[in-house]
Amino acid sequence: MEKLVKQNEGHIGYSHRQIEDRFRATFQASRDSVNINRLDDGTFVDINDGFTVFTGYSREDIADKSFRAADLWQEQQEFDQLVERVREHGSVLNMDARFRDKKGHVITGSISAMVMDFNGEPHLLSVVRDTDILKKTEDVLAVSEARFRELFNNMSSGVVVLQAIDDGKDFIVVDINRAVEKIENVRKSNILGLSVNFSFPSVERYGLSDVYRRVWQTGMPERYPVAIYRDKELKVWKDNYIFKLPSGEIIDVYDDITERRRAEDRLLEYQEQLRSLTSELSLAEERQRRSIATDLHDQIGQTLSVIKMKLYGLMQDVKDDSLAGRLDDVLSLLKKTIQDTRSLTFEISPPILYELGLDAAIEWLGENFQKQHNIPCVVESDNLFKPLGEDVRIVLFMAVRELLINVAKHARADSVRIIIKSNADTLKIMVKDHGIGFDPDAEENKAVNTHAFGLFNIRERLQHLGGHLTLESAPGSGTIVSLVAPLKINNETDKES
């Protein structure tokens, strides 16, 4: 070693002491087994901690012993071959050999050795790498690689592995899985090593190349859906997730979700048809109610009024007190019937909604609610002109009526406030109750019940008309339901006060 140190001292600019310290640090830090022996008799001069880990022998165990005396070699002839080759060539690289550890177990290693001068005498510097550990590591890696390959090839998602070339201007196909072969109708062997734009022309056409470049430059993953329509019909929909590996390779994991998207589109179409049908049924029901209410008012109501007038005239001509008393009882029953008919007319379809407008109808709802349930109800309106289509007006009136029914049944409210406001293109009605409130996100409140179904029904009808419903509530804080609907912006408007 001294000769080696002296040879390098002037050449590389380090002192003898610095070189020796560096060698010692490297010697001790190595994870491999390292030992120094005299070349002539094989006596151990020094070992590192890696030697102790590999063989189980400490410095004290092998002090002043030779290779032969320590009985480290499983086959002595392998040691003799090593010494012979070192003497002949000056060094040996990666010679496989078998050794025995302190417990007598056979261990294998790959030994490299060279002759070095130490204190003026030739010594053998040997480095042994534990090939048992290497083999175990290789076996683990092989199993991991096989597992990865099976997972890669049997994924239902398509996976494309790309390598950037020309400083990210293009990407070549490094690998694809079976799903890609099936989805794209290609064979792996025909496209490996080729440009991704050549292998999959749609990549450039639909902007995926730009995504690959961004991800390669920034390292930030991106999702990128590709939808292809022809004649307004969905032909292909692929959902891509692109990310960058530490190796620099770009991975594109994608699914062909065309059938799923078509099914979703069909479902949305069916839902819209159901909304339309529900709205038409509601409007048809309200028209029928209005027709019945009109008949009650114009025919039965008018007939009852005529009967009352005739009964008054008859009572004027009756002189018998007993008969007059009975006629008076009949008149009282008739008056009650007329009042009940009027009440029924308003319950079925209040004429005020069509004669005076939505604001007046909601005020009537509030007054009626207060009388029936003894709960104060205040209606506030901006009193602005609100051009509404008949269908919107009917849906909003029915929605407010449904909300007031919910308040009476569930809210335990001490008061209710209804606010009607409009702006340039929408009308907003807020129904606020000072009741017990509830947690809208709680599972029991998401379950199907009459209260939840009523809100769902209102929301669906409003959505079909281009409006929406919002709900705010919390336990102990009451509930606010907001109804928003579009105003009728055209020349044909229904004037409302």
pLDDT tens sequence across 258-273:
777 777 777 878 777 7
pLDDT at res. 447:
47
Which residues are CB-neighbours of 203 under 8 A, at least 6 positions away? 196, 197, 209, 212
Mean pLDDT of 305-334: 82
pLDDT digits over 57-102, tens only?
999 998 888 878 888 888 888 888 888 898 888 899 999 999 999 9
Q: Domain locations in the chain?
A: 2-130, 155-256, 350-497
Tokens linked to 79: 């040691």
- Alpha-carbon gap, residue 289 to 281, rounded angstroms: 12
- Alpha-carbon gap, residue 380 to 477, rounded angstroms: 21
DSSP secondary structure code for residue 51 in this structure: H
Helix (H) or strand (E) holding 479: strand 479-486
- Alpha-carbon gap, residue 261 to 227, rounded angstroms: 10
Please count the other Cβ atoms lying within 10 Å of the Cβ belonging to residue 158.
21
2-130 to CATH, choices 3.30.450.20, 3.30.470.20, 3.90.1260.10, 3.40.50.300: 3.30.450.20
Backbone angles phi, psi at 218, to 5 degrees: -95, -25
pLDDT at res. 2:
45
| Under 8 Å between Cβ of 58 and 52 | yes
Distances in Å between the Cα of 184 and the Cα atoms of 23, 170, 180, 411, 456 are 59, 20, 6, 58, 43
Residue 254's identity, in one-letter code, is Y
pLDDT at res. 491:
44
Q: Output the CATH code of domain 350-497.
A: 3.30.565.10
pLDDT at res. 228:
63
Tokens linked to 212: 């690959």
Tokens linked to 215: 């991800």
pLDDT at res. 489:
64
Which pLDDT band, with edges at 50, 70 and 90, does 494 fall under? very low
- Alpha-carbon gap, residue 402 to 455, rounded angstroms: 8
Mean pLDDT of 40-65: 90
Helix (H) or strand (E) holding 484: strand 479-486
Which residues are CB-neighbours of 21 under 8 A, at least 6 positions away? none
pLDDT at res. 322:
80
pLDDT digits over 221-233, tens only?
999 887 765 555 5
Domains 2-130 and 350-497 share a fold: no
Q: CB-based burial of residue 313 (10 Å sphere; 0-12 exposed, 13-18 middle, 19+ buried)?
A: exposed
| Under 8 Å between Cβ of 367 and 350 | no
DSSP secondary structure code for residue 262 in this structure: H
Q: Which long-range contacts (CB under 8 A, 24 or more apart) does 37-41 make?
A: 37/66, 37/67, 37/123, 37/124, 37/126, 38/121, 38/122, 38/123, 38/124, 39/83, 39/86, 39/87, 39/115, 39/121, 39/122, 39/123, 39/124, 40/121, 40/122, 41/66
Domain 155-256 fold = Beta-Lactamase (3.30.450)
pLDDT at res. 41:
85
Residue 25's identity, in one-letter code, is A
Q: CB-based burial of residue 475 (10 Å sphere; 0-12 exposed, 13-18 middle, 19+ buried)?
A: exposed
pLDDT at res. 1:
44
Taking alpha carbons only, the member of 399, 418, 369, 415 closest to residue 469 is 399
pLDDT at res. 16:
58
Q: What is the dihedral of CA 464, 357, 454, 422, to 10 degrees?
A: 60
- Alpha-carbon gap, residue 83 to 87, rounded angstroms: 6
pLDDT at res. 493:
44
Which pLDDT band, with edges at 50, 70 and 90, does 112 fall under? very high
pLDDT at res. 10:
45
Tokens linked to 313: 């005239």
pLDDT digits over 417-459, tens only?
999 998 888 999 999 999 998 888 775 555 445 455 578 888 8
